[in-house]
Structure 1
Amino acid sequence: MKNFFSLITKNQSLIYKVFLFLLSTFLVIYLLPKGGQFKYDFQKGKPWQYENLYADFSFTIKKDTETLENEKESVRANSIPFFDKDISIAEASKLQFKDFFEESYSDSLYKSSKASVARVGNNILSEIYKNGVIDEINGYPKDKLVYLKNGNELEEINYGQLFRKNDLENFIATTSKAEGIDDATLLLTQLLNRTVQPNIALNADLTEEAINAEIEAINPNRGIIEKGARIIAKGEVVEGDTFQILNSLRNEYQSQVWSNSNYNWLLVGYSILVSLVFLMLYLFLHKYRPRIFENNTKVTFIFFNVILMVLLTTIVVKWDAVYVYVVPLCILPLILKAFFDPRLGLFVHVLTVLLLGFIVPNSFEFLFLQTIAGIVTILTVSELYRRANLFISVGQITLVYIVGYFAFFLIQEGSIISLEWQTLGYFVLAGLATLFAHPLIYFYEKIFGLVSDVSLLELSDTNSKLLKELSNKAPGTFHHSLNVANLAEAAANEIGANSMLVRVGALYHDIGKMINPTNFTENQVNSVNTHNELEPTESARIIIGHVINGIEIARKNNLPDRVIDFIRTHHGTSVVYYFYKKEQELNGEAKLEDFQYPGPIPFSKETAILMMADSVEAASKSLKEPTSTKIDAFVEKIVDGQMEQGQFLNANITFKEIQIIKKVLKKKLNNIYHLRVEYPE
């Protein structure tokens, strides 16, 4: 049991990677559509590239989307609306008219008899309420058939037979004239306007329910292909009915009904393909990015982003596949480039797009557009911390999407007459959504503890609290750090290393000297050296201690680990040679370990550059009457000495790059001291 736990402890990193691999594979398979995959790839307007295709089973031909939409519109246009009829309103209006009439009529005011006027008023009410009174404007034609619903009874009439309240005054005037009571027209108009109330109202719910029932009854099929029938011949152009038949066959393959009997085999196939994708990612990291592969946090971050993009695309496709291009997939290479490097960003983007090919419709078109957009993202986005660069890149990505989609549309349709302009709007939305990369980078930095160029730019601000404190407590060290930062940045630019990272590392590499700044020569004034009164071993302990002190200060101020690495490695395992020799002179012997920095040695190009720049800049202060020859010689001596000590064995740096760094350091130091080449006398 003890051996078992020991084995688990030793291999916990590997076990975690296996667990992450299995979990990611399971999640992606869960998100993938659970249907079979059609084994043929075809495009409208292009020839069929395979052998003659025959139906392996009978299946129905599905109507295309446009046909179904037209049928639905036809159902809505021809549907019979339902209106509610309330006869109690008619009775109430007649009673109310009688009361108002008794109160308002006076024999002295009208020539027409009271009985005649009352009779005409009642006749008008009977006539207009015969079919019903409506006060709504529905826009139906007069010959439109409608249903009047009165309780459980249903009556069928034309819409024009309903009386509209707006016609009431004209109807009263016409009827009064015909009945010979013109003098009472105004009275009837006033009374009937007060008493007549609409008793017909559109029943929108019942009408919509009837329409939906008819739409659901629409047959989505328009025919059957029998088993064994030829669907398409080799070389035949895919268009018209043939295109719709092929779509129907593909839908049949991808349907849940078809896949139920093969569900287990379907899962096996998906498992193999998804596993291959994640296995390729692991192999790439192991072979070309071993430092990332060894860091479980970074590996988790990469897998998390892949699954996040698969999840977002799945949600959009299930909601409405039309909006699939709104998903800002180019955020993925953007973010990975910000935290790692362009090659890794593009590789992960391509693998993610391959996974999405199982989910999206028109997978070839999707794969092509997203791959090209990913390449453009990697090639165009540089110095992400500059806001203008991101906007320019987003514009280029959007343009590539639009141009690519336009080209595919021309290939498939052969014209631009039916171009779907709203799809171009989706690409613009995807481009705008890509701008969300900046806040997303910030959140990822806080959650995963990673560092991007944006954060490095903030850390390089010399007005930051920690660097201000350094300049106040140890001005000599601060000035030395600025010089080292300039040297290291120039060298990094020449060999293609991360110049922003190495500059930040150089600014903070000596912050440990703030503890006892006067113990370091660059901060001593009046030529008072505190080490003259100390033993060599004690002096060495103080000098070496600035590395440990620097790490502690950095952690208290929440500096990223990538910056702390420069503090740990800028002296590697070198020896404080001055005090080592002094100890030998005083006591005849000296223990090397008492005068050696704890390390580790540099393990990247950037940390190696800092070691060289730091040593060269510090040593240059001891040169008396510096000349170009002297500077060239001492740069060679210092860097070659570090190489002989094996300080760069773990750094991914070549001899050629070291030679380039030497040249940069020589040139920059010559510029600092305003030196020129010595000419012979």
Structure 2
Amino acid sequence: MKDFLNTFYKNHSLLYKVILFIATTFLIVYLFPKSGRFKYNFEKGKPWQSETLYAPFDFAIQKTPEELSKEKEQIKANATLYFSIDPKVLPIVKKAYEDNFYTTFPDSIYRDESRSLKKQGEQIIDELYKYGVLEDHLSRVPTTEVTVLENRVERYKTQFSEIYQLEYIKRDVLEKLEKANLEGYQSEYIALFFDIIKPNLTYNKTFTENVINEALQAVSFTRGSIEKETLIISKGEIVEGDKFLILKSLESEYESQVWNESNYNLIVFAYTLLVALALIILLLFLRKYRLDVFKNDTKVTFIFFNVLLMVFLTSLMVNYNSQYIYIIPLAMLPLVLKAFFDARLGLFTHVITVLLLGSIVPNSYEYMFLQIIAGIVTILTVSELYKRANLFISVAQITMIYIIAYFAFFVIHEGSVETLKWETFAMFILCGLATLFVQPLIYIYEKLFGLVSDVSLLELSDTNSKLLKQLSNEAPGTFHHSLNVANLAEAAANEIGANAMLVRVGALYHDIGKMKNPTYFTENQSSGVNPHDELAPQESASIIVDHVLDGIEIAKKNNLPDRVIDFIRTHHGTSAVYYFYMKEKHVNEAVDIADFSYPGPKPFSKETAILMMCDSVEAASKSLKDPTSTKIDKFVENILNKQMEEGQFLNANITFKEIQVIKKVLKRKLANIYHLRIEYPE
């Protein structure tokens, strides 16, 4: 069990990467649209680029969404309305008319005339109730067909115009009285009818909607069919009209046949192989060229997360509407990775992601070409991301590249610009605006993953920050030394292409541990009193060496990033406090140099190696008396050669040529500091 735990602990990082790889692979495959891919790319109004196409099997021609929508709207507009009739209402209305007629009309009317008026009223009631009186207000076309039901059984059919609505009864009665020349008795009739007329029809909404739904469900989604081996389209022929509809029908039928139940699992397995292959290549790249990133589980997780995020956003848009695919700001991926790592890693990851997405987007070649070109331009143009103007300029350049490349593709396909889709250009502009979100996104990533970007480094380089102000107050000599080292290191980093901002920040904070015992370091001994005179050499060496551990402790308390703390840990490597070692050796020949050495580790990057060189040279340069160019050259050579002999740079990815370049920079800078002129021969 103990052996198993030891093995697990030794390989836990590798096991984590395996789990991360498997989880990311399955998530990406899950996000991919679950539909087949038609092996031909085509667009309406553009020439057919592939070989002459014959129908591979029998299939039906599908109606377009517009045709189906129009057909359904016609069904709804022409649908029969169903009403329910209450047969008890009419007898009640007639009885009420009989009972109230003589009390409504005056007694002065002659008997014969009274009978005539009563008969006229009965005729009006019969006309009103011939097809029924409706209480609800319905706004329908007069010719709409109406079916009247009694106890859910059809009683008669008519048109909507034949039905009277209760709210218009007064108007309708007046019209009938006018036709019968009974205008003189309008008030009596209106008063009588107002009291007795009741609706006998109600709109049966449920029954009507059920009938409409049945009709909608019966709508055919196809019109006609194509037999196997029928010529569909010839090479170079324009894809339009019926040709386009037939191709869309074939595409849909092909995808439905490919993604059937029998081979679904096989196709998903094939997708998994492709995704796994792409992610393995990404991991192999990290292991071969970015070993420090590969060993850091957080950084690998961060890279995989960003790939997954871009796949998620693109899949979402493909499922919603693939026409808007270019709104997704894919150029953010290399921007983010360049901000935290380097341009090469950012571009490689971007290309891998684009290759993954090429299997799910329409017009995959065009899409991949545009996105890879945009990624390359992003890497080449974006420098010093912490400067806002640079980001805006780069985003404008990326947007222009999108527009130019799309325009070129369109002209190649169309042969003209008459049908150019200007809305696509608007999508590229929106994509550019979305890319500007990279600044707040970088800040969010810093908090989530504990990484450091150039934006944060710029903030840390501010000498008015709390920690650097404390350093300048408590150890002013150390603060001035740190500024000088920062200037030297930044110049050296720029000369060999290292991260100048990172090394500058590391230089500013590398000696913050000296704040704990500032007077024990010569640069802070302004009074001329040296407390080391009263200490044994080993005690003095212990205090000097401890400033590294004290610096790490102070840095962690102030939440400095690990990348900055690395400079504190490595700026002396495993070198010895040589002065106190030699002092002790005069007394004790058996002294162990390990007791006077820094704990390390040795520098493990170009930036930490640069800081070690610049720190040693700047500190030792204070002891130069009557400096000349020759003295400075020899001085720099001696210090750096000694560090190389001790193997301090063996773990850093820095070449001998780069060290020689750094030597030249340091010699030139020190000569400028001491205001030396060229020594002319006598």
Same fold (TM over 0.5): yes
Give, in whole Å, the separation in 1 of the partners of 2:555 and 2:379: 33
Secondary structure of 1:60's counterpart equals strand
Check conservation: 1:36, 1:259, Cα contact below 8 A.
no
Structure 2 equivalent of residue 342 of structure 1? 343
Distance in 2 of aligned mates of 1:108 and 1:678: 143
CA distance in 2, matches of 1:394, 1:198: 70
What is the match of residue 609 of structure 1? 610
Match of 1:18 in 2: 18
Q: In the alignment, what sits opposite 1:315?
A: 316
CA deviation string 1:14-67 (max 9, x = no partner): 3332332233223323333455544445556334444x5554433333344554
**CA displacement at 1:199 relative to structure 2:** 8.7
**In structure 2, what is the Cα distance between the partners aligned to 1:186 and 1:628?**
124
Partner of 2:307: 306
Matched, 1:444 2:477: no
1:268 is displaced (CA, Å) by 3.9
Are 1:537 and 2:538 matched, yes or no? Answer: yes
Please say if residues 335 and 438 of structure 2, whose CA atoms lie closer than 8 Å, have aligned partners that are also in contact: yes
Judged with a 3 Å threshold, the aligned counterparts in structure 2 of structure 1 residues 107 and 60 are, in CA distance, closer, same or farther, namely closer
TM-score (structure 2 length as normaliser): 0.84
Q: What's 1:359 paired with?
A: 360
Which amino acid counterpart does residue 61 of structure 1 have in structure 2? I
**Which letter maps to 1:533?**
E
SS of match in other structure, 1:554: helix
Shift of 1:552: 1.4
Question: Deviation of residue 650 (structure 1)?
Answer: 1.9
Q: Does 2:468 match 1:467?
A: yes
Secondary structure of residue in 1 paired with 2:60: strand
Using the alignment, how far apart are the partners of 1:554 and 1:646 within structure 2?
27
1:297 partner amino acid: T
Compute the displacement of 1:607 (Å): 0.9
Residue identity in the other structure for 1:540: A
Q: 1:75-94: per-residue Cα shift (whole Å, max 9, x none)? A: 45x53264656769987997
Q: TM-score, normalised by structure 1?
A: 0.84
Q: Which residue in the other structure is 1:59 paired with?
A: 59
1:609-628 alignment to 2 at 5 Å? 609-628=610-629
Aligned to 1:654: 655
Aligned to 1:223, the other structure's residue is in SS state: strand
1:287 corresponds in structure 2 to: 288
Q: Secondary structure at the match of 2:225?
A: strand
Q: Hey, what does 1:666 align to over in structure 2?
A: 667
Aligned-pair distance for 1:666?
3.4
Counterparts of 1:282-681 in structure 2, within 5 Å, are 282-405=283-406, 407-409=408-410, 425-588=426-589, 590-678=591-679
1:171-186 paired onto structure 2 within 5 Å: 171=172, 174-178=175-179, 182=183
Tell me the CA shift for residue 535 of structure 1. 1.4
Q: Does 1:79 align with 2:55?
A: no
Tell me, yes or no, if the aligned pair for 1:105 and 1:114 is still in contact at 8 Å: no
Measure the CA separation in 2 of the matches of 1:168 and 1:425. Answer: 57
Kept after mapping to 1: 8 A contact 2:166/2:199: yes
- Residue 545 of structure 1, CA deviation: 0.7
Preserved CA contact (<8 Å) 1:35 1:253: no
Instruction: Count the aligned residue pairs.
Output: 678
Change (3 A) 1:234 1:588: same
Aligned partner of 2:17: which letter? K
Question: What amino acid sits opposite 1:458 in the alignment?
Answer: E
Question: For the residues of structure 1 that align with 2:243 and 2:571, how far apart are their CA atoms?
Answer: 70
Between the aligned partners of 1:459 and 1:195, the Cα distance in structure 2 is: 90
Cα deviation for residue 241 of structure 1 reads 4.1
Moved more, 509-518 or 359-368: 359-368
- Matched to 2:79, the amino acid is I
Once the two structures are superposed, residues 611-642 of structure 1 have per-residue CA deviations (whole angstroms, 9 ceiling, x without a partner) of: 12222222232233444444444333323332
C-alpha deviations, 1:646-673, integer Å up to 9, x for none?
Answer: 2222222233333333333334334444
Structure 1 residues 378 and 160: alpha-carbon distance in aligned structure 2, compared to 1, 3 A threshold: farther
The change in CA–CA distance for 1:449 and 1:219 in structure 2 (over 3 A counts) is same
Q: Is the CA contact (8 Å cut-off) linking 1:628 and 1:670 kept in structure 2?
A: yes
Q: 1:564, CA displacement in angstroms?
A: 0.8
Query: 1:34·1:256 contact (CA, 8 Å) conserved in 2?
Result: no
Give runs of aligned pairs for residues 120-131 of structure 1, distance below 5 A: 130-131=131-132
**Contact 1:82–1:149 (8 Å) recurs in 2:** no
Q: Secondary structure at the match of 2:651?
A: coil
Seen in structure 2, the aligned counterparts of structure 1 residues 622 and 408 have a Cα distance that, compared at 3 Å, is same
DSSP 3-state at the match of 1:601: coil
Shift, 1:499, TM fit: 1.7
Over the aligned positions, Cα root-mean-square deviation in angstroms equals 4.2
**1:594 Cα offset (Å):** 1.9
SS in 1 for 2:263: helix
Displacement of 1:519 in angstroms is: 0.8
CA distance in 1, matches of 2:603, 2:196: 97
Task: Return 590-599 or 518-527, whichever deviates more.
Answer: 590-599
> Identity, % of aligned pairs?
58
- In structure 2, relative to structure 1, the CA distance for the partners of 1:512 and 1:81 (3 Å cut) is farther
**Residue 271 (structure 1) shift:** 3.0
Aligned to 1:225: 226
How far apart are residue 330 of structure 1 and its match?
A: 2.8
Secondary structure in 2 matching 1:451 = coil
CA distance in 1, matches of 2:505, 2:170: 87
List per-residue Cα deviations over 1:160-190 (Å, max 9, x = no partner).
4455788667656545555556566578779
Q: CA deviation at 1:546?
A: 0.5
Supply the distance in 2 between the matched residues of 1:64 and 1:165 (Cα, whole angstroms).
Answer: 43
* Deviation larger for 461-470 or 40-49: 40-49
Whether the 8 Å CA contact 1:484–1:617 is kept in 2: the answer is yes
Task: Within 5 Å, give how 1:186-335 maps onto structure 2.
Answer: 213-232=214-233, 240-255=241-256, 258-335=259-336
Structure-2 separation of matches of 1:427 and 1:451:
30
CA-to-partner distance for each residue in 1:308-330, whole Å, 9 max, x for gaps?
32233333433444444443333
Unaligned runs of 5+ in 2: none
Q: Which amino acid aligns with 1:59?
A: F
Contact 2:93 2:198 in 1 (8 A): no
Distance in 2 (alpha carbons) for counterparts of 1:39 and 1:204? 48
Q: What amino acid is the match of 1:11?
A: N
Deviation at 1:478, TM superposition (A): 1.7
Q: 1:34 to 1:208 in 2, by over 3 A?
A: same
In 2 relative to 1, CA 589–165 (structure 1 residues): closer, same or farther, beyond 3 Å?
Answer: same
Alpha-carbon separation, structure 2, partners of 1:647 and 1:172: 111
Any conservation in 2 of the 1:48–1:232 contact (CA below 8 Å)? no
- Note if contact 1:85-1:149 (Cα within 8 Å) is conserved in structure 2: yes
Q: Is the CA contact 1:36–1:254 (under 8 Å) kept in the aligned structure 2? A: yes
